[in-house]
């Protein structure tokens, strides 16, 4: 009989355990169901939410009234105006930056052309570039030639007029009386 009593006690404990397990599982299922219902309600309520004004409405009629209200339309126009000004300012900055970049490239190209061009006086004037971006330079034939350094030999005259100009030989290191020889 003791064995039967022990067996019955174990059986009752086992049944109680199963009931608790079923209850726990049942409560989990109920919790999941509640959570699912709540998420569906939130989805439905999102339909009646105005993000621009940050307002929630419960009825479709209230939401429609809000959408046609002066307050909502005023905020909508103000937001659009701010976006347009932001876009316009950004576009103007990009345009100014583009022009600045083009001018810098033009300056670099002009400097490169001047370096590549040989320094001869008989060459023609440089080709005409966009006159709005550059200044006009005098013709190369009209510029005076500057010579630097010490030389005992005179430079040949580049002026090709009919008469030849005779230059006296001068040396920095000789005395004036030696120059008449």
108-140 pLDDT per residue, tens: 999 999 988 876 654 555 555 555 555 555 555
Q: Under a CB-based contact definition with an 8 Å cutoff, are residues 120 and 141 in contact?
A: no
- Residue 129 counted as domain residue: no
Residues 50 and 63: their CA atoms lie apart, in Å, by 8
Please give the model's pTM, rounded to 2 decimal places.
0.35
Which of the listed residues 116, 132, 165 is the one where a domain comes to its end?
Answer: 116
The DSSP bridge partners found for residue 133 are none
Domain count for the chain, please give it.
2
- Residue 170 counted as domain residue: no
Asked if residue 66 and residue 21 are part of one domain, the reply reads: no
Q: 79 lies in which domain range?
A: 57-116
Q: State the pLDDT at residue 13.
A: 81
- Residue 29 counted as domain residue: yes
The pLDDT of residue 181 is above 50 = no
Q: Give mean pLDDT, residues 89-115.
A: 93
38-74 pLDDT per residue, tens: 998 888 777 889 999 999 998 889 999 999 999 999 9
């Amino acid at each position: 009989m003791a064995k039967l009593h022990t067996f019955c006690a174990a059986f009752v404990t086992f049944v109680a355990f199963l009931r608790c397990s079923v209850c726990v599982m049942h409560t989990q299922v109920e919790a999941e169901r509640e959570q699912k219902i709540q998420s569906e309600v939130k989805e439905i309520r999102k339909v009646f939410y105005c993000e621009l004004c940050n307002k929630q409405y419960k009825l479709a009629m209230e939401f429609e009234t809000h959408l046609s209200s002066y307050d909502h339309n005023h905020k909508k126009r103000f937001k659009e105006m701010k976006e347009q000004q932001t876009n316009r300012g950004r576009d103007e900055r990009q345009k100014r930056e583009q022009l600045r970049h083009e001018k810098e490239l033009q300056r670099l190209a002009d400097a490169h052309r001047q370096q590549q061009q040989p320094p001869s006086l008989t060459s023609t004037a440089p080709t005409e570039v966009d006159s709005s971006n550059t200044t006009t330079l005098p013709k190369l034939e009209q510029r005076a030639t500057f010579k630097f350094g010490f030389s005992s030999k005179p430079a040949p005259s580049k002026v090709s007029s009919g008469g030849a100009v005779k230059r006296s030989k001068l040396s920095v290191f000789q005395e004036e009386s030696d120059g008449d020889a």
